[in-house]
Structure 1
Amino acid sequence: MIADAAARRLHVIQGEFKVVTDPDVVLSTILGSCVAACMRDPVAGVGGMNHFLLPGSADALASGGDATRYGVHLMELLINGLLKKGARRDRLEAKIFGGAKTIARFSNVGEQNALFARRFLQDEGIAIVGESTGGDHGRKLEYWPLSGRARQYALTGVEAQKAVAQESRPAPAPKPVDHSIEFF
Structure 2
Amino acid sequence: MLRPLPTSAPQQRRHSVMQGESEVSSDANLVLTTILGSCIACCLYDPRAKVGGMNHFLLSLPPHAAPDDIGAAQRYGLYAMELLVNEMLKAGAHRSFMRARLYGGANMHSGMRSIGLNNSQFAQQFLAADGIALAFADTGGSSARRVDFQPATGRIRCRLVQDIVPETPPIAQKPPVGEIELF
TM-score category (smaller protein): 0.7 to 0.9
Determine if the alignment matches structure 1 residue 56 to structure 2 residue 61: yes
Q: Which structure: greater helix fraction?
A: 1
**In structure 1, distance between residues paired with 2:163 and 2:125:** 32
Determine if the alignment matches structure 1 residue 13 to structure 2 residue 40: no
Structure 1's unaligned 5+ residue stretches are 160-184
Give 1:155 deviation, angstroms.
1.1
Secondary structure, counterpart of 2:66 in structure 1: helix
CA deviation digits over 1:83-138, x for unaligned, max 9? 11111111111000000011113211000000000000011010011110000000
Identity of aligned residues (%): 43
Question: Are the aligned partners of 2:67 and 2:73 in contact in 1 as well (CA < 8 Å)?
Answer: no
Computed over aligned residues only, the root mean square deviation of the Cα atoms, in angstroms, reads 2.1
CA deviation digits over 1:25-75, x for unaligned, max 9? 111000000000000111111110000000015954256681000000000
Give 1:19 deviation, angstroms.
0.5
Higher mean C-alpha displacement, 146-155 vs 136-145 = 146-155
**In structure 2, distance between residues paired with 1:23 and 1:59:** 41
Provide TM-score, normalisation by structure 2: 0.79
Amino acid at match of 1:112: N
Q: Kindly name which structure, 1 or 2, has the bigger radius of gyration based on alpha carbons.
A: 2
Alignment match of 2:91 (pick from 85, 96, 99)? 85
Alignment match of 2:149 (pick from 128, 143, 154)? 143
Determine if the alignment matches structure 1 residue 41 to structure 2 residue 46: yes
Report how many residues are paired: 155
**In structure 2, distance between residues paired with 1:26 and 1:139:** 16
Question: Are the aligned partners of 1:45 and 1:146 in contact in 2 as well (CA < 8 Å)?
Answer: yes
**In structure 1, distance between residues paired with 2:77 and 2:41:** 9
Structure 2's unaligned 5+ residue stretches are 6-10, 166-183
**In structure 2, distance between residues paired with 1:24 and 1:42:** 16
Provide TM-score, normalisation by structure 1: 0.78
